[in-house]
Structure formats: structure tokens, C-alpha cells
Amino acid sequence: MADVSIAPPAPPLTPVEFLIPRWFAHGLFEVTPERLEALGIQGLMLDLDNTLAEYYSTDFSPEVSEWLCAVHDVGIKTCVVSNTHRVARLKSLCEPCGVGYVLGVRKPRRKGFRLALAKMGTPPERTAIVGDQIFTDVLGGNRMGLYTILVPPLSHKEFFATRWVSRSLERVLFSYLDRCRRTPPRVPDLRASESDSPVRPENIGP
């Protein structure tokens, strides 16, 4: 793995900054192993529903399986942190791909993140989380000091509370950020040339 340093320690986050990811990615496959290595990431937490697989899917797509293999090939450890109650589905998705997982996760509570850090054996400052929701993945990851990466949801099919509550609040947040012309803090230089407007509500989904 490349011996590079991640962004220097940041000042404490303001309440709004806890809701802002450090990287707004256009999709999961934009988060390449090479970019993770360049950020010094050694461990990667992954949300499951609508990040790795659609809500009702019982398989990863071939592209997601290939992406997971590529991440593992560069030595980055992975662990799914999902609020799902469907444990059998979680196991059947993760185990064939060699992806770790933890049970009893209730994002944005910190317990599940701590379990995942212990499972991977990586420090928070060298660990990232990829997820599709602000109020679970990003908020929880920022509370833990992880490098937070937001991706658009794979599908509009979601748990009803997610669809009617969380997404509505996300729209309010991004409307506010857009009006304030706020940009996510500490956007890495690595992708600066690829995203001239880091706040992209259109990438957050409906």
C-alpha cells in the first residue's frame, strides 16, 4: 500500500459539518482502490442497502463483486455496517465475497462502528465509510472521526422511514447548503479536478 498521509487533523466539526461528507462521490465505482490508497485508507466500512446492493437484492452485481475484489487486492480491509434486521441475507451477501460484517448495528450510534473498527483492526483516521444516507452513514462516520464518503442510492426502493423522513431531511439540508454555497470541509486534492462543485444535491437522490 502506498505510504501516503491523509489529510491533517481537522478542527472540531460544527453541528452542520457533522452532516457533510468529506467526499461526495458520483457512485461507488468512483471510489477506486487507487483513490483510497492515496488517501491512506486501510479499512473501509460499507453500508449495504442501496450502497452495495438494492434493498431487496440477495446478490451483489458482478460489478460490485469485482470492485470488492479490487479493494481487497490492494490490502484494504472491508466490513459492512448495516442497520438491516435481515441477518441471513447479510451473511449470504458478505461471506462469499470475503467481506466482513458486524451485527447489532444502529447507525448513527457508535457501537456498530466501534465493532467494525475492532474487526478490521484499523484506526479511525485510516478508515473510511461509504454509504448513501446522511443521517446514518455520514453522521455516524463523522461522529467516529472516519473519512466519510457519500454515494447516490442505487434505487428508489427503500425502507419507508428512509424514503419519507430521511430523504426529506436530506433535501432540506442540501437546499440549505446550496443556498449558503457551502462546500464540504477538507475535500481532498485528489479529486479536486473532478468536481468543481462539491455540493451536488442532484447526486443525493430523491
158 binds Mg ion (CB under 5 A): no
Nearer Cβ to Mg ion (37/158): 158
Nearer Cβ to Mg ion (184/205): 205
**Between the CA atoms of 47, 53, 58 and 62, what dihedral angle is there, to the nearest 10 degrees?**
-120
37 binds Mg ion (CB under 5 A): no
47 binds Mg ion (CB under 5 A): yes
170 binds Mg ion (CB under 5 A): no
Contacts with Mg ion by CB under 5 A: the residue count is 4
Neighbouring-strand partners of residue 46? 80, 130
Residues 58-77 that bind Mg ion (CB under 5 A): none
127 binds Mg ion (CB under 5 A): no
Q: Are 41 and 34 in contact (CB under 8 A)?
A: no
Q: How far is CA 203 from CA 24, 27, 45, 94, 120, in A?
A: 8, 9, 21, 26, 30
Q: Of residues 49, 64, 113, 152, which one binds Mg ion by CB under 5 A?
A: 49
| Minimum distance from residue 79 beta carbon to Mg ion (Å) | 15
Name the CA radius of gyration of the chain, rounded.
16
Q: Report the alpha-carbon distance of residue 83 to residue 87 in Å, rounded.
A: 10
50 binds Mg ion (CB under 5 A): yes
